[in-house]
Structure 1
Amino acid sequence: MVPEQGSGSGPEATPDRDLVIDVARFVCLALVVIGHTMMLSPELHPDGTVTTENTLGNQHWFEPVLWVLQIMPLFFVAGGITGLQSWRRLRARGGTAFDFGQARLLRLIRPASVLLAAMFAGLWAARLAGVDPQVIQLLAAGAGMPLWFLAAYLAAQLNLPMFAALHARAPWLTLAGLTALVIAVDCLRGVLPLLAYVNMVFLWCAVQQLGFIVADGGLLRLRRPALVGIIVGSNLLLGLLVALGLYPGNMLVNLNPPNLSLLLLAFSQAAALQLFRPVLGRAASLARVQRVLAVVGRRSMTVYLWHLPLLAAMSGLLLLTDVPRPAGGTPAWWWSRPLVLLAVVILLLPVLALFGRLEERPTSPGRPRTRPAAAVVTAAVVVFLPVADAAVNGLTLGLLGGGAACFALAVLLLGRVPARDGAAAAAEGPDGPLPRPPLSANVEP
């Protein structure tokens, strides 16, 4: 799931907020940042060429650990939980699918547009300063690794109202249908390799659909032995598919383009979330934990978008210095990772201060006024084209500039999310009417 923040001042702002989801999001975000510090490893060779390797991905002994640490499916499960509740809230207030798309797009592209513009300006300035184009391309490619997430998450969220309607009629049949589509694409990807990227829609929508089932209490009714059975069974099936050679054992390789292995991980992680809910709930009840969640939750998208570009920029600058750089995968390299993580966190602090407010819900005063459906659809297409291109072909300096322009155009097309009438808002309360399923999950405006 994408990192999302609440509409209030923090997790404690909404009485019915499910703090366990906030804890899960925080853990997922922390693991993503930590994992990326163990992946990007550029090296300057004596002949002046620069190469990079995914150090973590090349450690075969680490592959079993990645089955646990590959938590992107849990992001989308949580996104399904919160997204379904948000859609129900909006629909209860008379909102439409286009209103939902407008709000979701703005929440993603406002912080992302500034990132793309800053990256383009910085890398173009570096090129004018005489930095080797190979280094610039290396930095652009490394910093653009998370952008596939924008394409996948946008596809899932913009289709959420449609799949929510199917979920209301036949939840398990809808999930089974999406799973069948995922398997069909996996079967054909050897003949048509580009077809594999279609699973960026089918696979992540299926995982999001699993989040719908969790949100409506589909797993809450299961006892511990059943949850443990789901965890063990899904991992055994995944292990069998890997042993048969149908999928790689490296879950980083399986991420882009995604395949059925990630859906199996999603079942395991969704069951684990419910299994450990009492423990996570006790941790979330601590005031100190809630304060951390309040701070990080409001700026989680900024952390996700900026941490890897900052890491890539720092790594690129270090190539130009005489600072010792141990070879990737060596003991010295592993011991240097905590320092790299600390440096990234320090670099993030001014970025969060400058750009973190872009994550806040952009509202306009006065009576509600939605954008025309054509404007929302156009904005979605304008945004999706560059991020899909980056996900498939990698990020380049030219694509950075084009993407920044596309995102800026989309922001202009979408305008601002209209505020509700004051009297109506007061009558409904701070969050409006919400149908309450068995699990009151975090809700977004």
Structure 2
Amino acid sequence: MVPRQRAAGGQAVRPDRDLVIDLARFYCLALVVVGHTMMVSPVLHPDGTVTSVNTLGNQRWFEPVIWVLQVMPLFFVAGGITGLQAWRRLRARGGNAFDFMQARMLRLLRPAAVLLALMFSGLWAARLAGVDPQVVQLLVAGAGMPLWFLAAYLAAQLNLPLLARLHARAPWLTMAGLTSLVVAVDCLRGTVPALAYLNMVFLWCAVQQLGFLLADGGPLALRRPALAGMILGSNLVLGLVVWLGLYSGNMLVNLNPPNLTLLLLGVSQAATLQLFRPVLAGLVSLSRVQAFIAAAGRRSMTVYLWHLPLLAAMSGLLLLTDFPQPAGGTAAWWWGRPLVLLALIGLLLPVLALFGRLEERPTTPASARRPAAAVATAAVAVYVPVADAALNGLTLGLLGGGAACFVLAVLLLGRIPARLVAGSGPGSAGPPLPRPPLSANVEP
């Protein structure tokens, strides 16, 4: 972490952000939003039934493209970098693992709880108004897709204190152990398919561990030829396992539940980030770029959670109108994608104004911590509906139950003691930490 600077009056101010990581996150989020506008394509059939077609995913040329543009591993690499440094800062201020879990869950669950509650209310009202149950279920399934990422990211972050301790003792052994668990699950998933979902934890924790290695230097603090060799080598291994038929070459198919291919992509993307860091650092040194990335980063979770529900709702409502509906994949459909993206951005702006502040962690001056039992119960309350949705699919009833569980979790988590929040006062930061090769973001 960059050592804390002192203002003229001696008061500690926030440490510098790693703007390259901010830029990488923005790139990932923008790519996901743009990609989804080219995937969601509901079709109204003459008999009145409605189906959803993944137009982009059905294009034959898209498979090699998604190999390059599948950026979910990069999300978790960045989360490993920032999460590790956030955990170390918290420990320096006297915090513990449950404090870290409380802060992480509040940041993610507050906006998600409001989204789930509003989605359930709106779709239940649509059902009572006579909208076909099939259409409602289609909207439920489509709008709920972002929740798998929330569950996987939260699982990786909740395990971060434990993994950070293992990393401090034996980084290579920890990485090897997680990789072995990923491979073991992949080997057994054909016999017991439900086991594949264990890699929602093992795989993404392993990719997050790559961020640990990047933050601490490790093998990714290499010279450019070595980094280029890592990129080439990981992609050659990825190509080999696909060529042998062990895995699909479609990285969308490999995404949920995830498998070893995404860890190999993570190695490639982590090395690529380090290889191009000087170029990216030059780009984010521009003041306008910094201002834009900072504004986007403060509301990134709101954008991620809301963009697909808004896109699904907009697409569903258009089916009820006489607005031209070109068939997916046609020239007219492709020409209409920029208009869809602009309309989606227009819908996101008021949502960000209304709900963006939910990403800010509520703090209280009280010094009492939340009991560890309350934090653990909140985690269980979140993962009960999430596991049900992963195994059995998301339904309207489960959406309502999930909203109730998320609200309960937020109530259990309460507010964070101000002394555990960076920058809360002159004496709240604790001793400065040593400077590693990379600085880390100060996450709210």
3-state secondary structure, aligned to 1:36: helix
Amino acid in the other structure paired with 2:405: C
Check conservation: 2:143, 2:312, Cα contact below 8 A.
yes
- Following superposition, the deviation at residue 432 of structure 1 comes to 6.3
Residue of structure 2 equivalent to 1:365 = 365
Using a 3 Å threshold, how does the CA distance of structure 1 residues 421 and 175 change in structure 2: closer, same or farther? closer
Distance 2:430 2:301 in 1: 22
Unaligned runs of 5+ residues in structure 1 are: 1-12
Partner of 2:322: 322
Q: 1:207 & 1:15 partners in 2: Cα distance?
A: 26
Q: How does 1:30-429 map to 2 (within 5 A)?
A: 30-366=30-366, 368-420=367-419, 426-428=425-427
Shift in Å at residue 428 of structure 1?
A: 3.9
Q: What are the Cα deviations for residues 413-436 of structure 1, in whole angstroms up to 9, with x where unaligned?
A: 1101111199x9544476863332
The answer to whether the 8 Å contact 1:234/1:265 transfers is yes
Residues 178-208 of structure 1: CA distance to partner in whole angstroms, max 9, x if unpaired? 0011001001111111100000010000001
The letter of the residue matching 1:393 is N
The 3 A distance-change label for structure 1 pair 432 and 402 is: farther
> TM-score normalized by structure 1?
0.94
1:400 Cα offset (Å):
1.0
SS at match of 1:43: strand
Deviation at 1:61, TM superposition (A): 1.1
Q: Give the direction of change, closer, same or farther, for the CA distance of 1:406–1:425 in structure 2 (3 Å limit).
A: closer
Q: Deviations over 1:213-268 (max 9, x none)?
A: 00101245311111111111111111111111111111011000000000000000
Q: Secondary structure at the match of 2:41?
A: strand
Aligned equivalents of 1:162 and 1:300: distance in 2? 26
Query: Is 1:89–1:435's contact at 8 Å kept on the other side of the alignment?
Result: no
Contact 2:93 2:429 in 1 (8 A): no
Letter in 2 for 1:172: W
Distance 1:29 1:431 in 2: 33
Distance 1:238 1:339, change over 3 A: same
Please give the alpha-carbon distance, in whole angstroms, between the structure 2 residues aligned to 1:89 and 1:220.
Answer: 23
Q: CA deviation at 1:174?
A: 0.5
- The structure-2 alpha-carbon separation of the partners of 1:321 and 1:269, relative to structure 1 and needing over 3 Å to count, comes to same
With over 3 angstroms needed to count, the CA separation of the structure-2 counterparts of 1:325 and 1:102, relative to structure 1, is: same
Q: CA deviation at 1:385?
A: 1.4
In the superposition, relative to structure 1, how do residues 276 and 219 fare at CA in structure 2: closer, same or farther (>3 Å)? farther
Q: CA–CA distance in 2 between the matches of 1:421 and 1:217?
A: 27
How far apart are the structure 1 equivalents of 2:351 and 2:441? Answer: 26
Number of aligned pairs?
A: 431
Aligned partner letter, 1:403? G
Match of 1:8 in 2: none
- Preserved CA contact (<8 Å) 2:220 2:271: no
- Residue 314 and residue 225 in structure 1: after superposition, are their counterparts in 2 closer, same or farther (change >3 A)? same
Distance change (3 Å), C-alpha of 1:73 and 1:431: farther
For residues 140-162 of structure 1, what are the alpha-carbon distances to aligned partners after superposition, in whole Å with 9 as ceiling and x for unaligned? 10001111012111111111000
Helix, strand or coil at the partner of 2:325? coil
More deviation, 386-395/44-53: 386-395
Q: CA deviation at 1:128?
A: 1.1
Mark the CA change 1:425 to 1:149 in structure 2 (over 3 Å): closer, same or farther: closer
Is contact 2:220-2:227 (8 Å) kept? no
Measured in 2, the distance between the counterparts of 1:359 and 1:336 equals: 32
Distance 1:135 1:115 in 2: 19
Q: Take 2:251 and 2:32, find their aligned partners in 1: how far apart are those partners?
A: 13
Matches of 1:282 and 1:428 in 2, distance apart?
34
The AA in structure 1 aligned to 2:345 is V
Q: Secondary structure at the match of 1:51?
A: strand
Shift of 1:279: 1.1
Q: Is the 8 A contact 2:15 2:442 kept in 1?
A: no
Equivalent residue number for residue 442 of structure 1: 441
Moved more, 90-99 or 384-393: 384-393
Cα deviation, 1:25-45, whole Å, max 9, x if unaligned, reads: 000000010111111111000
Structure 1 residue 15 displacement after superposition: 4.2
Distance, in Å, in 2 between the alignment partners of 1:157 and 1:282 is 30
Shift of 1:293: 1.1
2:349 is matched by which residue type in structure 1? L
Q: Aligned residue for 1:7? A: none
Contact 1:147 1:391 in 2 (8 A): no
Assess if the C-alpha contact under 8 Å between 1:44 and 1:51 holds in 2: yes
Normalising by structure 2, we get a TM-score of 0.94
Q: Is the 8 A contact 2:386 2:402 kept in 1?
A: yes
Tell me if the contact between 1:43 and 1:50 (Cα under 8 Å) persists in the aligned partners.
yes
Q: Match for 1:215: what amino acid?
A: A
Q: 1:102 offset after TM fit, Å?
A: 0.6
Q: Which amino acid aligns with 1:237?
A: V
